[in-house]
């Protein structure tokens, strides 16, 4: 019996995620007419642009062993603040966009500082942040504000053709830039290594002399930036600002990260997995839409179960028995590659 090529254990959850995505996509293509159009895939990116951005930010937080529940509220707040500054104050987008992004960074930094210096659980602090941001939306405006700014409208309506197969929006380009930057940050910088180290074991990271305090605060700053950017993208997508937008989005973002193969205990996972996590959720929604008769709330149930399955997979992959077996196999392969390959 021929053995499949040896895959490093740490890539297994990621492989499962990508395989699931491809499997679901093939299922959709076989089942439904029109599903194989490339535009279906581009729409997946267009409709989930904001979710991908904020989930990427969340990945860093979770990799560092934290959690941020404020992202959904932060996105809603960004849409309201942008709409208010554009419409009611008549400010130019050149001021508005950097302004809201700066606010996101400061908001994240504040939460990070409280979490680190007061040693409060991130769960509680970001919960307070969520209440605060959600409430501030309504302090600014209880109604939805439509954005009529020409720049926002132009960006929203602009379509970029992709080799004649369809089109994407500017938001998708932003997503791709964020993704590349995140991949660089996570895997090619000292900051990225420190994030993984803190998530693995904060005490050890501290003893190794890594800048734990700075990195932890930076992670929440980064996530604040990502959620604010997602808010900008979302306000372009919806062309309005409203305090009730993206209710419960933090859970979708966390689910994406988990489905993407990142361990919630921190230290293990990949940014690219998160992107697939979002896409899988979007794909489930698309399939349910194509199916036509199923209700949209099935999405919630399926995503919930999927999250559970992936958590189950994670604990299976990390069970002592599995690790022992994998290590034994690796050792055997090293000692006698021919024998192991022949098996």
Partner 1 sequence: MTSLSRGWERIRNAGLFWPLAALALVMLFNLIFTPNFFRLEIKNGHLFGSLIDILNRGAPLMLMAIGMTLVIATAGVDLSVGAVAAICAATATVLVGNVTGATNMPLWEVIPITLGVALLCGLWNGLLVSRARIEPMVATLVLMVAGRGIAQLITGGQIITVYYERFFYFGAGYLLGLPFTLFIVAGVMLFAWLMTRRTAIGLFIESVGTNASASFYSGINEKNVKLLAYVFCAFCAGIAGIIISSNVKSADANNVGLYMELDAILSVVIGGTLMSGGRFSLAGSVVGALLIQSVTTTIYAFGVPPEVVLVVKAVVVLFVVLLYSQPVKVALDKLSRRRGVRA
**Which window, 9-17, 19-27, 198-206, 292-300, contacts partner 1 (CB under 8 A)?**
292-300
Q: How far is CA 24 from CA 92, 166, 181, 316, in A?
A: 43, 21, 28, 23
Q: Between residues 210 and 263, which has the closer beta carbon with respect to partner 1?
A: 263
Tell me: does residue 136 bind partner 1 (CB under 8 A). yes
Tell me: does residue 304 bind partner 1 (CB under 8 A). yes
Choice from 312, 336, 339, 343 touching partner 1 (CB under 8 A): 312
Tell me: does residue 303 bind partner 1 (CB under 8 A). yes
Choice from 251, 288, 326, 333 touching partner 1 (CB under 8 A): 251
Tell me: does residue 134 bind partner 1 (CB under 8 A). yes
Tell me: does residue 128 bind partner 1 (CB under 8 A). yes
Choice from 300, 313, 326, 340 touching partner 1 (CB under 8 A): 300
Alpha-carbon span 85 to 95, nearest angstrom? 9
Tell me: does residue 295 bind partner 1 (CB under 8 A). yes
Tell me: does residue 261 bind partner 1 (CB under 8 A). no
Phi, psi (deg, nearest 5) at residue 163: 45, 35
Tell me: does residue 123 bind partner 1 (CB under 8 A). yes
Phi, psi (deg, nearest 5) at residue 160: -105, 115
Contacts of residues 9-16 at CB distance under 8 Å and 24 or more positions apart, as own/partner, are: 9/317, 9/323, 9/326, 10/268, 12/317, 13/261, 13/269, 13/273, 13/310, 13/313, 13/314, 13/317, 14/260, 14/261, 14/270, 14/272, 14/273, 16/261, 16/310, 16/313
Alpha-carbon span 249 to 101, nearest angstrom? 19
Unique residue bearing structure tokens 């194989």? 36
**Which window, 12-20, 94-102, 111-119, 144-152, contacts partner 1 (CB under 8 A)?**
111-119
Binding site for partner 1 (CB under 8 A): 67, 114, 117-121, 123-125, 127-132, 134-139, 142, 243, 248, 251-252, 254-255, 258, 264-265, 295, 297-301, 303-305, 307-308, 311-312, 315
């Amino acid at each position: 019996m021929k053995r499949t090529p040896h895959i490093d254990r740490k890539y297994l959850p990621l492989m499962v995620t990508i395989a699931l995505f491809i499997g679901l996509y093939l299922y959709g293509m076989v089942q439904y007419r029109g599903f194989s159009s490339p535009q279906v895939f581009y729409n997946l990116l267009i409709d989930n642009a904001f979710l991908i951005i904020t989930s990427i930010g969340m990945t860093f937080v979770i990799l560092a062993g934290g959690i941020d529940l404020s992202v959904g509220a932060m996105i809603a707040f960004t849409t309201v603040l942008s709409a208010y500054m554009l419409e009611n104050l008549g400010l130019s987008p050149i001021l508005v966009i950097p302004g809201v992004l700066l606010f996101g960074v400061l908001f994240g930094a504040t939460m990070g500082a409280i979490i680190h210096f007061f040693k409060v659980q991130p769960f509680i602090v970001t919960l307070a942040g969520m209440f605060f941001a959600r409430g501030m939306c309504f302090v600014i405006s209880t109604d939805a504000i439509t954005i009529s700014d020409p720049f926002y409208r132009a960006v929203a309506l602009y379509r970029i053709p992709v080799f004649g197969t369809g089109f994407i929006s500017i938001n998708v380009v932003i997503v791709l830039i964020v993704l590349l930057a995140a991949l660089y940050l996570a895997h090619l910088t000292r900051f990225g290594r420190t994030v993984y180290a803190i998530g693995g074991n904060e005490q050890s990271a501290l003893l190794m002399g890594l800048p734990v305090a700075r990195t932890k605060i930076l992670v929440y700053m980064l996530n604040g930036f990502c959620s604010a950017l997602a808010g900008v993208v979302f306000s372009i997508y919806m062309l309005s600002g409203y305090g009730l937008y993206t209710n419960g989005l933090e859970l979708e973002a966390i689910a994406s990260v988990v489905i993407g193969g990142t361990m919630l205990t921190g230290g293990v996972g990949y940014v690219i997995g998160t992107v697939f996590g979002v896409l899988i959720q979007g794909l489930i929604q698309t399939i349910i839409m194509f199916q036509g008769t199923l209700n949209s709330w099935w999405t919630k149930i399926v995503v919930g179960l999927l999250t559970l399955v992936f958590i189950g997979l994670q604990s299976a992959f990390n069970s002592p028995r599995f690790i022992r077996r994998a290590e034994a196999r690796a050792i055997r392969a090293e000692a006698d590659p021919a024998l192991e390959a022949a098996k």
